[in-house]
Amino acid sequence: MKLSEELEKIERAAQEPKPTVLPHINLIEDPALAGKPVIVEAVVSSTSVSYLVPKEVEATVEGKDGDSQETNVTFDAKDPINIKFVGVNEDVKYRRLKRLFGDPGKVRIREKAWRIIYMVRVRPPVFTLEKKEEKIVDERGFEYKSFDIFIASDKPIDFRPSCLIRVEGIPTANPKTQQATLLVYKVEFPEEAVAYDQNVIEKLRIKFQGLTVEERLKWILGNFEKYSQIVGRSNLAEAGLLAFFTPTWVKFNGEVQRGWGNVLFYGDTTTAKTETIRKLIRLLGAGMLVTAETASTVGLTGTATQVEKQGWFVDWGFLVLLDRKLLAVDGAHKLSLSNWAALAEAERSGVVSVAKAAKNSAYARTRQIKIANPVDREADKYTTKSLSGFLYACHAIPTILDRTSIARLDLAVFADQRDVKPEDINRAPCEDYDPDLLVLGEVLKWCWSQLAEVVFADEAVEEIHEQATSLYNVFFCEEIPLASIDMKWKLARLSSALAFLTLSTEDYSAVTVTKEHVEAVVNFIKEEYSRAGLNTVAQATRHEALDAEDVKRLLMNIEAAVAERIDRETICKILRYIVLQGRITRDEIMAKFSLSRDREVVPLLSNLKSEGLIKIGRGFYPEPKLIQAYKVTGGFLLT
């Protein structure tokens, strides 16, 4: 390039207005900013649709005297005409190009070079969402909504759903819909450039030297209580921190499995469950809190969306948008059992797939915290019930989650309103927190960077295997499988999180999980689950093993309860029918066995329920106890 051309380019750049930095993407709707350069951050929430449009064209224009004139035009990436070539057919494109040179009938166009225009759906980066009246708003009061923006580029760009982008562009109107959009000519990926500050973390690591894991954890939880001013809920804070600090992947026993955590905060209202998460998000500067009203199944996974005349694409939900980050769902009990059951596989695999008009899949390796209250199943799914209404707190979990979803949980912690006295809460704070607590935000960046290898010490491996077996033997309950058969992987994830949190490292290239980390996690689980009565329920369930004599006595009790109006043989046939069908109705029993409703069927079903043989939903279903009795007797073929 000639010196004069270079100087001219510099002069033009100096004369161009400096872009305005917008704090929120919704501000591109401000008419005062139309046509002016702006810089704003956004989160990619869809698959991208790419279009090839002309960048340089050569035109031959025929004059009145028959002479022809050659003209060459290059379209700048900032020129709004770029959008007018998106999603149109060849005829429309050439008509629009010819109009630029006068009479379209006397112009011939040849395309010389091209650029890519990406249409991408984006949303604002937020920390919390809640529903106010009919709108969903973020922590800054802006309505949470999406924008379809157009990004002009001379080279291919990979727009991964959930990635944060910083764009420079011009607010303009979509020529097809006149909706506010952004013509982008510069894109950066700030998350790719962000790294943790090792010097800042080193200050806290030095402070922890000489302290045991328990002492480090006690320092963190004690200072967080002062920071948050949430009294007596250290179990919530510890579980929340463990969820945040779980690694993306864990390699244990030579096998790589998911590392992202899945934790349940469960208990009464006004027990600081949500407030604990809010304060953790503020402290760590990461994560997102949404309410159940904004988190339907589609809102969590994604949906196929059609743009007029431009086809279908997937608009991804929160699980994808928070890939490799943390999502907390407040009011998780307001989503049905079927909602959570549909998400169970995505929580395990870390991939969400949409197979509708637009078929696609995306990563959802999302650390998750469900915040929920027990539900009164006798009323409706929105009527909550206090933990004191259950014999044991663990009995409340199946009111909102099915067995598969419960088994997917790495940890559940409970918040009973009776655990903290009013006089402990209603007092002025007397101490300030140590400012070094704020370093945890930088520690979290180190954890989420995936640059540190997780190494399990030999004694930690042995301890995980031993304790996984012990926890399973003590706490496994088929109805509430928190201590499932894969307990060793849950311990591996949680002990890795504790190792990151307590800075078990020498040079930040590796984090070492020791026996001490495993013991601390196991003690925490034992304390929580024992307090919730899971050990008692589990052992009581195991002692209910039936033999043939037990079943005979059970049948005698049932026969006596129906006042011998139904004989033993008919009772056995009915029980066999319930087991084999899996679900029956009262009318089916009446019709198949020729029984009366009020005198025979109603008393029989009531007694079967009280004996723990059936459960009631949209019909009657066999309980494990009935299935066990069926197996013991060979199908109730008693002699």
pLDDT (tens digit per residue) in 229-270: 998 899 999 999 999 999 999 999 889 999 999 999 999 888
Between vectors from CA 314 to CA 310 and to CA 318, what angle results, nearest 5°? 145
Predicted TM-score of the model (pTM): 0.79
Residues across the chain:
639
Tell me, what DSSP letter sits at residue 584?
B
Give yes or no for a contact between 279 and 290, defined as CB atoms under 8 angstroms apart. Answer: no
Give yes or no for a contact between 400 and 358, defined as CB atoms under 8 angstroms apart. Answer: no
Nearest to 522 by CA among 513, 114, 551: 513
Nearest to 214 by CA among 437, 519, 435, 433: 519
Backbone phi and psi for residue 579, each to the nearest 5 degrees, phi listed first: -65, -45
pLDDT of residue 289: 92
Between vectors from CA 326 to CA 325 and to CA 327, what angle results, nearest 5°? 130
Residue 118, CA distances (Å) to 24, 115, 143, 150, 155 in order: 21, 10, 25, 5, 11
How far is C-alpha 520 from the geometric centre of its chain's CA atoms? 27
Backbone phi and psi for residue 375, each to the nearest 5 degrees, phi listed first: -115, 140
How far is C-alpha 630 from the geometric centre of its chain's CA atoms? 40
Sign of CA dihedral 262, 501, 469, 540: negative
Q: Work out the number of other CB atoms within 10 angstroms of the CB of residue 117.
A: 22
409: Cα within 13 Å, side-chain hemisphere: 25
pLDDT of residue 637: 73
Q: Work out the number of other CB atoms within 10 angstroms of the CB of residue 505.
A: 18
Between vectors from CA 108 to CA 102 and to CA 109, what angle results, nearest 5°? 95
CA–CA distance, 33 with 485 (Å, rounded to integer): 58
Q: Are strands 49-62 and 129-132 parallel, antiparallel or unpaired?
A: unpaired
CA–CA distance, 221 with 437 (Å, rounded to integer): 10
CATH architecture of 548-632: Orthogonal Bundle (1.10)
Q: Which residues pair with 59 in a beta bridge?
A: 71, 109
- Segment 159-183, tens digit of pLDDT: 888 889 999 999 999 888 889 999 9
Q: Residue 244 corresponds to which tokens in the numbers above? A: 């945040």
Amino acid letter, 596: S
Sign of CA dihedral 493, 499, 501, 507: negative
Instruction: Give ranges for CATH 1.10.10.10 in the chain.
Output: 548-632
Nearest to 250 by CA among 525, 502, 459, 513: 513
Residue 399, CA distances (Å) to 7, 266, 381, 382, 550 in order: 72, 11, 9, 11, 30
For residue 408, with 0-12 CB atoms within 10 Å meaning exposed, 13-18 middle and 19 or more buried, which class applies?
buried
pLDDT of residue 1: 47
- Which SS3 state, helix, strand or coil, does residue 284 take? helix
Instruction: Give ranges for CATH 3.40.50.300 in the chain.
Output: 198-540
Proportion of the chain in helix, strand, coil states, percent, rounded to 5: 40, 25, 35
CA–CA distance, 233 with 333 (Å, rounded to integer): 21
SS3 per residue for 212-253? CHHHHHHHHHHHHHHHHCCCCCHHHHHHHHHHHCCCCEEEEC
CA–CA distance, 626 with 612 (Å, rounded to integer): 8
SS3 per residue for 122-162? EECCCCEEEEECCEEEECCCCECCCEEEEEEECCCCCCCCC
CA–CA distance, 91 with 217 (Å, rounded to integer): 68
Stretches where the chain sits below pLDDT 70 are 1-15, 64-66, 104, 192-194, 296-298, 304, 306-311, 338, 355-359, 378-382, 423-424, 426, 542-545, 638-639
CA–CA distance, 396 with 492 (Å, rounded to integer): 27
CATH architecture of 198-540: 3-Layer(aba) Sandwich (3.40)
pLDDT of residue 165: 93
Q: What is the DSSP string of 72-101?
A: EEE--TT-THHHHTTT--HHHHHHHHHHTT
301: Cα within 13 Å, side-chain hemisphere: 23
Q: 539-565: string of b/e by CB count within 10 Å (b at 16+)?
A: eebeeeebeeeebeebbeebbebbeee
Tell me, what DSSP letter sits at residue 257?
E
Residue 510, CA distances (Å) to 284, 456, 462 in order: 21, 10, 20
